[in-house]
Chains A and B, each alone.
Chain A
Amino acid sequence: MNIVNLLIRSVFVDNMIFAYFLGMCSYLAVSKNVKTSAGLGVAVTFVLLITVPVNYLIDKYLLSAGALAWISPKFAAVDLSYLTFILFIAIIAAIVQILEMVIERYSPALYSALGIFLPLIAVNCAILGCSLFMQERAFGNVGEAAVFGLGSGLGWLLAIVTIAAIREKLRYSKIPKALEGVGIAFIITGLMGIAFMAFMGIKL
């Protein structure tokens, strides 16, 4: 499968927010100004780029039916796929923790930009969701999985920065009292989703 095609599709067509509603909680909670939401978006993209390929390898060589055959033929009949959820979430939590420590050690500037968001990310459904989609779609190799993770992250970044920009301007507009805040954010997201549906027919 074409890598560029996969990237474009996962950014625009299968957008995490508009098509699958993944990561809505932090999307609504953090999108009050552009700067912080861009920070969170970059952090999510970064974590996705690393966790999706790692989970791909875990799935391929540990979890799926017959995956353990590389250790010894005796294990060829073992199917551990029911452990998927618990292992994926553990891997994600561990990677986020390690990333936090590595970034703190080697790049204090990046750490102070991303730092506060990293712990939040472990329980962001976009991260776990992306790994589960990766498992469902059965990519051919680890590169495709990484591109899928990158694309999904960029799509999420795009969505959160756009809505943050809109919400900054909303402060100056007259919204019905009862609709202020969250209510209007939902409706705007819906409208943006309709706009993104225009990308649906794209073939590369």
Chain B
Amino acid sequence: MNLKKLVIEPLRKANPVTVLVLGICSCLAVTAKLKPALVMGLSVTVVTAFSNLIISLLRKGIPSRIRIIVQLVVVATLVILIDQFLKAFAYDVSKQLSVYVGLIITNCIIMGRLEAFALSHGPVESFFDGLGNGFGYSLILIIVAFFRELFGSGTLLGYQVIPQSFYDAGYQNNGLMILPPMALIIVGIVIWIRDAGRRDVRHET
């Protein structure tokens, strides 16, 4: 199978968030600023890729009746590693992410890919499939965080982007952007823009 295709496809055509609506769960809460969103996207990518790899290596030995528990244990172990790593090397980001790091365990993208791909494919392919889906997920987080931070705080990654002269001329940050509901509305608009003008997408209603 073509490895490049496995990585590229989830970015647009089979994006886990906008097409399959997986993993949207908790993680929108980290998109008020760009930096936590980047860290979150990266963490999820690492967990998806490695849990796919590990489960794919083990797939012949796991009895199918208890596979969910085995998957949960593998994923939870990886998430604990990520959590400890963040606490050690990026303490302030890990404080901002608070409980949402732990919630990577129940992120449906990971379980979905394990069930749909890793259990039936070889380790190398599964690893790249995990990477691709992680990137597709990060892409959405980054788009949402970009707009929320730009219009909500006038900064990007903490640096002032909107010049001071705008504020002097009466420009105001849009406080609504920082609040949770806007994240949902932006995802809705992203889906809208992506599907506009495309005939082949058929959402079930």
B21 to A93, Cβ gap below 8 A?
Answer: no
Residues on B with C-beta less than 8 A from A88 are: 102
Residues on A with C-beta less than 8 A from B192 are: 176, 178-179, 183
With an 8 Å Cβ cutoff, the count of chain B residues facing the other chain is: 51
Q: Cα distance A136–B98 when bound, in Å?
A: 9
A189 to B26, Cβ gap below 8 A?
Answer: no
Residues on A with C-beta less than 8 A from B182 are: 190
Interface check B90, CB cutoff 8 A? no
Interface check B105, CB cutoff 8 A? yes
Q: Cα distance A123–B72 when bound, in Å?
A: 9
**Chain B stretch 143-185: residues in CB contact (< 8 A) with chain A:** 176, 179-185
B205 to A171, Cβ gap below 8 A?
Answer: yes
Residues on A with C-beta less than 8 A from B204 are: 181
Query: Chain B nearest CB: distance from A178 CB in Å?
Result: 4
B76 to A86, Cβ gap below 8 A?
Answer: yes
With an 8 Å Cβ cutoff, the count of chain A residues facing the other chain is: 49
B198 to A178, Cβ gap below 8 A?
Answer: yes
Interface check B58, CB cutoff 8 A? no
Among B73, B182, B198, B205: residue with most chain A CB under 10 A: B205
Stretch at the interface among A23-31, A41-49, A63-71: A23-31
A24 to B185, Cβ gap below 8 A?
Answer: no
Residues on A with C-beta less than 8 A from B179 are: 193-194, 197
Interface string of A173-200 (1 = CB under 8 A from B): 0001111111111110111111001000
Interface check B187, CB cutoff 8 A? yes
B79 to A197, Cβ gap below 8 A?
Answer: no
Residues on B with C-beta less than 8 A from A122 are: 68
Please give 15 more A-B residue pairs, beta carbons under 8 A apart, in addition to A194-B181, A197-B181: A20-B26, A21-B184, A25-B24, A85-B80, A85-B83, A93-B68, A129-B26, A133-B99, A179-B192, A183-B195, A185-B188, A186-B184, A190-B183, A190-B188, A193-B179
Sorted nearest first, the 4 A-B pairs with minimum C-beta distance are A181-B203, A193-B181, A186-B188, A178-B195
20 pairs across A/B with beta carbons < 8 Å? A18-B181, A20-B26, A20-B29, A21-B28, A24-B28, A25-B24, A82-B80, A89-B105, A89-B106, A90-B73, A127-B106, A178-B192, A178-B198, A179-B188, A183-B203, A186-B185, A186-B187, A190-B182, A192-B181, A193-B180
Residues of A near any B CB (own CB < 8 A) = 18-25, 28-29, 82-86, 88-90, 93, 122-125, 127-129, 132-133, 136, 171, 176-187, 189-194, 197
Residues of B near any A CB (own CB < 8 A) = 18, 21-29, 68-69, 72-73, 76-77, 79-80, 83-84, 98-99, 102-103, 105-108, 111, 176, 179-185, 187-189, 191-192, 194-198, 201, 203-205
